[in-house]
Structure 1
Amino acid sequence: MSAISTIRNLGPATEAAFARAGVTTARELHALGPDAAYAKLLEVGERPHFIAYYALVMGLQGRPWNDCRGAEKDALRTRFDAICAAARPAPQSELERMLDMIGVVPKRDPM
């Protein structure tokens, strides 16, 4: 089985992050697809980073990371934002929701 770092754009740091998420081979990563795989990274505490997300998407397509532009990049940003929003836990109480609304609870940066 091929290592994750054999996929274009993905190096040892990404491979280590996916290992923490339980994904250890290129085949597993391809089977999951970029959105589910990226969600697994967020589940284990990786900080959201848009460039890392679209580098993953491009890599799984066999394309260089900087090949993503224009409308395609905009569509990927929409998908990335949705993945991040789904990974963010819902407020536990009405008080926490209100504190979040007025900005007292630090918001996670989606980038």
Structure 2
Amino acid sequence: MATPVSSIRNLGPAFEAACTAAGINSAEELRALGPDDAYAKLLRAGTKPHFIGYYVLVMGLQNRPWNDCNGVEKAKPRARFDAIKASAFDQDLNAFERMMDQIGVRPTS
């Protein structure tokens, strides 16, 4: 029997619903994908990118509290998030549009 995504630390029903919409139907599938591939899949399925959502996933898959990482350690997931977002979400945006999104200037749809 498959284990629910929400059984993973930090991940609740809303994250589980997003995973289901992206075709990730169990905690086992999520762990097998790993945080980067899973988050890219979520973005391609329509989840709006947000660093905290990715960060919570990374920490949950390490069975750590979502706020357990600081400073230098947090820079690595941030760089990975930016790369995932650029490849799975922003690929059709030009450099100017990406910059506007980064600083929160462009309206959301």
TM range (shorter): 0.7 to 0.9
Partner of 1:7: 8
Kindly report which structure 2 residues correspond to 1:12-31, keeping only aligned pairs within 5 A, or say none: 12-31=13-32
| Corresponding pairs, count | 102
Q: Which runs of 5+ in 2 are unaligned?
A: 105-109
Q: Tell me if 1:45 matches 2:46.
A: yes
Q: Tell me if 1:35 matches 2:36.
A: yes
Shift of residue 22 of structure 1?
A: 0.1
Change (3 A) 1:110 1:2: farther
Provide the rounded CA distance (Å) in 1 between the counterparts of 2:76 and 2:60.
Answer: 17
Greater than 2 Å deviation, 4+ residue runs: 105-111
Shift of residue 72 of structure 1?
A: 1.1
Shift of residue 90 of structure 1?
A: 3.4
The letter of the residue matching 2:77 is L
Q: Could you give the per-residue CA deviations for residues 51-91 of structure 1, whole angstroms, max 9, x where no partner exists?
A: 11011000000000000211110111000000001112235
Q: Secondary structure at the match of 1:66?
A: coil
Provide the rounded CA distance (Å) in 2 between the counterparts of 1:18 and 1:38.
Answer: 9
Partner of 1:89: 91
Provide the rounded CA distance (Å) in 1 between the counterparts of 2:70 and 2:34.
Answer: 20
Shift of residue 50 of structure 1?
A: 0.5
The letter of the residue matching 2:92 is A
Shift of residue 110 of structure 1?
A: 8.6
Shift of residue 107 of structure 1?
A: 4.8
Give the aligned CA root-mean-square deviation in angstroms.
Answer: 2.2
Query: Percent same amino acid at aligned positions?
Result: 56
Shift of residue 45 of structure 1?
A: 1.2
Partner of 2:72: 71
Greater gyration radius? 1
Q: Could you give the per-residue CA deviations for residues 19-39 of structure 1, whole angstroms, max 9, x where no partner exists?
A: 000001000000000000000
Change (3 A) 1:17 1:109: farther
Q: Which runs of 5+ in 1 are unaligned?
A: 92-96
